[in-house]
Amino acid sequence: MNIENTKSQMRKGMLEYCILLLAHKQPTYANDIIKQFQDADMIVVEGTLYPLLNRMKRDGLLQYEWKESTQGPPRKYYALTEDGEEALKQLNSIWDSLNRTVGILK
């Protein structure tokens, strides 16, 4: 078994869910998302994050708003749409179910 490959696949499957969790708390911009992932010991690089944010916006899960910054150019702040809120509810339920199942099997 290739543990690193399995770990990578598990992380990829969780990224969208984790972004929805972060954007649900408050509007956030990409560098903040990367920092929060780092704080949670999950390394995500810009080359992975930006295409995912763009896809989630195209899919109607996220919307963004430009906000002025005191430290440079305006920033894109991402927030959940109604569809994003609904997707998050469904993913929370799926996560709870998976977590229960793994807990039973452990």
What is the predicted pLDDT for the residue at 7? Answer: 84
Residue 52 lies in a domain: yes
Residue 1 lies in a domain: no
Domain hosting 46: range is 12-105
What is the domain-level CATH number for residue 18? 1.10.10.10
What is the predicted pLDDT for the residue at 32? Answer: 94
Contacts of 72 (CB under 8 A, 6+ apart): none
pLDDT tens figures, 14-62: 999 999 999 999 999 999 999 999 999 988 989 999 999 999 999 999 9
The 3-state DSSP class for residue 66 equals strand
Eight-class DSSP state of 28:
B
> What total number of domains does the chain contain?
1
Residue 5 lies in a domain: no
Residue 3 lies in a domain: no
Residue 6 lies in a domain: no
